[in-house]
Structure 1
Amino acid sequence: MERGSHWERVAGLPLRVESYELTGHDRDYGSFTRPSTVIHLRGAGEEGIGEDVVYDVLDQIAHRDGGPVHDFGGVSTLGEFSALVGELDLFPVAAPGMEASRHYRRWAFESAALDLALRQAGLPFHEAVGRDPQPLEFVCSTRLTTFDEEGGSSTEAIRKRLERYPGLEFKLDPENDWTPELIAEIAEIATVDSLDLKGFYKGTPVDVETDPELYRQVAEAFPGAYLEDPDVNDETRPLLEPIADRVTWDAPLHSLADITSLEWTPKAINSKPSRFGSLQELFAVYEHCAANGIAIYGGGQGEVEVGRGQIQYLASLFHAGTPNDTAPSGYNDPAVPPGLPTSPMAPVPSATGFRWG
């Protein structure tokens, strides 16, 4: 397909929005609470839903308290809705805590509008874009510490999940307390497909101090794993340049231009749909990567509602066979509940709309 053709397939879908509602769906994980707001767009007897994954609790509360302040009654197509949302201030009370949150909220509105337009048309998403859902391979992303834990990193989180789901594979966040012994233990018990080095996080609960020796140790211990978001500086560059094919990017990517301007042309990227904000930009990324031999593996934002299924739906259509960090949200539950789908997950698209499962 030519670039832009996926967007062109859906942009002209008729869309009628008569009202909308915001509902809170925060989830308590014990050591932290993940805030979440679902956007319900309604029109012509149908409802479309999308999930706002903004991380700042105060931003989420302000959104809910403000209520449905925007008027979408003048749009008649999905493309018109997207253009309008791109012009609106979706944080009318106060600027967001993170600028990236503007993309996250835009994604929530656009995914809800896509769902509504498809339901009004009686179409499932995959039919609208002309692709067939494939069995979805996924990995479990987990930290080896919790935010309120003083005991440091251990393999407990891995072992608990493997006890329940022996074939599970992982994406891990190396931390500064990882010792050679811990790294060896992880390598012995688990398959690790990607390592998130958190090189672009500053002033957050998940910050990791750049440690060239840690980079070297994990790169050698997990030779088949992607090395995501390293901090490339004078100390780490000599280590990373020879293995640049393994270096992937996530946090700095908010547009196609961010990908094309990377110093090293990537062999793979982590695509979080909400980071790109708009459907049009996301489809442009998919098409650029397909045309240039860049693999994509999906990433999540800790979605707890419809947003998780929507990124699984996208992954099943555009990059089903890669180590997608799109595991069902139950894998994030410290209790590790039984009965979760295992990888590869059979396609479960909704009969109409943009929903999964």
Structure 2
Amino acid sequence: MATWDRLRDLSLRIDSYSLEGFEQGYSPEFTRYTTVFRLEGLGESGEGEDVIYDGLDHASLRDRGPELELAGEHTLGSFAELLDGLDLFPDPPVREDSRDYRRWAVESAALDLALRQAGRTLGDVLGRELRPLNYVVSMRLGAFGADEPEAADRLLDVLGRYPGTRFKLDPTNTWTPELIEELAATGAIDSLDLKGRYKDTPVDVDTDPELYRRVAEAFPDAWLEDPDLDDPDADAALEPHRDRITWDAPIHSIADIEALPFPPKTVNIKPSRFGALERLFAAYDFCAERGIAAYGGGQSELSIGRDHIQYLAALMHPDTPNDTAPKEFNLPRPPDGLPASPIDLPIAPTGFRFAS
């Protein structure tokens, strides 16, 4: 049975909904905004987090308030069909892919509410066992857009306080051979996000075939995520390492996986990139049927959205290098006392959420 077929007939009653805004400053250049949709029905609530990156889209949503016609008796399947016919944006989004992010917020809230109304957990409905979640800590060593050479200080600080932590790093154009050597000596790097599929964003990295070659050789066991293979020299630099190339930014559907330049060994399945629950669970099924490994990824969530991606990773692919660390690791200096990987998640007795 397809995974979505286990969920589509869950009953869902929505009486009303509300919105709650969150924000977190990470640097003078970057403040993160998110908005939580809270659906109410039959004395229960369900929550999902909108992780759109553009503050204008959050401001527009919050200013207009809960004006969508969501109330009524549904199933998860019929509710998804209702959303197909609604524009979730009071004003056009800054970026078109933001439509998937908001769709994920609403559908994940609906899933949480339907499960709470049914008195069940997601693992129970799917017939899957929740296992301890393996995570990596994702970071860029320097500030976005900085020109000075980056240093390993931030990583070494986390590693000193959390021995055994594994990392996913963003190599940038300021990485020196000395820094690469220092990082490789830690033996703590599981993944390198080359950011080659991002264009005209704050996280862009200029395609540098020599940087690709250096990091691929210095970290022979690390995954190489999102290289720019449209550049012939970059493609040639990574040709010997194709078994380690994986993808994130282009992956929104099964069609995107099928359209990759060669069959991947693994892909990053970020739930918010898929938007609809049906599309997300179809991708999980597709990868399982074809022996493609999956790992999870985050979007700097500030609220329940981080719980959701951790929950899904612990159900669907708990042992892979999931970029789903506790959200406090996104702070400039994470606090002490965070749970080490792997985590036993504190799942609530009902719903798609953690226990309070």
Q: 1:164–1:336: 8 Å Cα contact kept in structure 2? A: no
The corresponding residue for 1:281 is 279
Pairing of 1:176-187 with structure 2 (within 5 A): 176-187=173-184
Is the 1:160–1:336 Cα contact (8 Å) retained in structure 2?
no
Tell me, what secondary structure is at the counterpart of 1:223? Answer: coil
| 3-state DSSP of counterpart to 1:250 | coil
Which of 122, 125, 130 is equivalent to 1:125?
Answer: 122
1:265 aligns with 2:263: yes
Q: 2:90 aligns with which of 85, 92, 99?
A: 92
Q: CA deviation at 1:150?
A: 5.7
Q: 2:233 aligns to what SS in structure 1?
A: coil
TM score, norm. by length of structure 2 = 0.97
Alignment of 1:79-118 (within 5 A): 79-93=77-91, 95-118=92-115
**8 Å contact from structure 2 (residues 147, 174) kept in 1:** no
Counterpart in the other structure of 1:144: 141
- Find the residue that maps to 2:19 and give its secondary structure: strand
Aligned positions, number:
353
- The aligned residue for residue 223 of structure 1 is 220
Corresponding position of 1:248: 246
Mark the runs of 5 or more structure 2 residues left unpaired by the alignment: none
Query: Could you say which residue in structure 2 is the equivalent of 1:175?
Result: 172
Identical aligned pairs, as a percentage?
A: 55
Q: Does 1:160 align with 2:157?
A: yes
User: Matches of 2:257 and 2:183 in 1, distance apart?
Assistant: 32
Cα shift readout 1:205-236 (whole Å, capped 9, x = no counterpart):
11111000000000001100111000002112
Q: Aligned-pair distance for 1:245?
A: 1.0
What is the alpha-carbon distance in structure 2 between the residues aligned to residue 99 and residue 159 of structure 1? 38
Runs of 4+ in 1 over 6 A off after TM superposition: none
**Contact 2:26/2:331 (<8 A) preserved:** yes
Asked whether 1:191 is paired with 2:194, we answer no
TM-score (norm 1): 0.96
Distance 1:106 1:87 in 2: 12
How far does residue 148 in structure 1 lie from its aligned partner after superposition? 7.1
**Residue identity opposite 1:297 in structure 2:** Y
One-letter identity of the residue aligned with 2:133: L
- Paired position in structure 2 for 1:63: 61
Deviation at 1:189, TM superposition (A): 2.2
Looking at structure 2, the residues matched to 338 and 58 of structure 1 have their Cα atoms a distance apart, in angstroms, of 34
In structure 2, distance between residues paired with 1:149 and 1:179:
14
Contact 1:312 1:356 in 2 (8 A): no
State the Cα distance separating 1:238 from its structure 2 match. 1.7
RMSD over aligned CA atoms reads 1.2
| In 2, Cα distance between equivalents of 1:171 and 1:189 | 13
Instruction: Determine the C-alpha separation between the residues in 1 that align with 2:209 and 2:32.
Output: 32
Task: Return the alpha-carbon distance in structure 2 between the equivalents of residues 112 and 244 of structure 1.
Answer: 38
> How much does 1:188 deviate?
1.1
Q: Which residue of 1 aligns with 2:208?
A: 211
**Do residues 42 (structure 1) and 40 (structure 2) align?**
yes
Aligned to 1:11: 8
1:282-321 equivalences in 2 (<5 Å): 282-321=280-319
Is the 2:113–2:351 Cα contact (8 Å) retained in structure 1? Answer: yes
Deviation (angstroms), 1:156? 1.3
Q: Are the counterparts in 1 of residues 134 and 321 from structure 2 also a CA contact under 8 Å?
A: yes
Q: Measure how far apart 1:120 and its partner are.
A: 0.5
Contact 1:86 1:106 in 2 (8 A): no
Closer, same or farther: CA 179–152 of 1 in aligned 2, 3 Å: closer
Q: Is the 8 A contact 2:195 2:204 kept in 1?
A: yes
Task: Give how far 1:356 is off.
Answer: 2.7
AA of the residue aligned to 1:99: E
Q: What stretches of structure 1 of length at least 5 have no aligned partner?
A: none
**How far did residue 54 of structure 1 move?**
0.3
Letter of the 2:81 counterpart: A
**Residue in 1 aligned with 2:342?**
344
Q: In structure 1, what is the Cα distance between the partners aligned to 2:311 and 2:11? A: 22
- Between the aligned partners of 2:169 and 2:319, the Cα distance in structure 1 is 19
The offset of 1:38, in angstroms, is 0.6
- Show CA shifts across 1:167-196 (max 9, x none): 111000000010110100111124111111
Q: How far off its partner does 1:84 sit?
A: 1.4
1:276-324 Cα shifts (integer Å, max 9, x gaps): 0011111111011111110111100011100001000000011000000
1:75 to partner: Cα distance: 4.2
Distance in 1, matches of 2:54 and 2:268, equals: 22
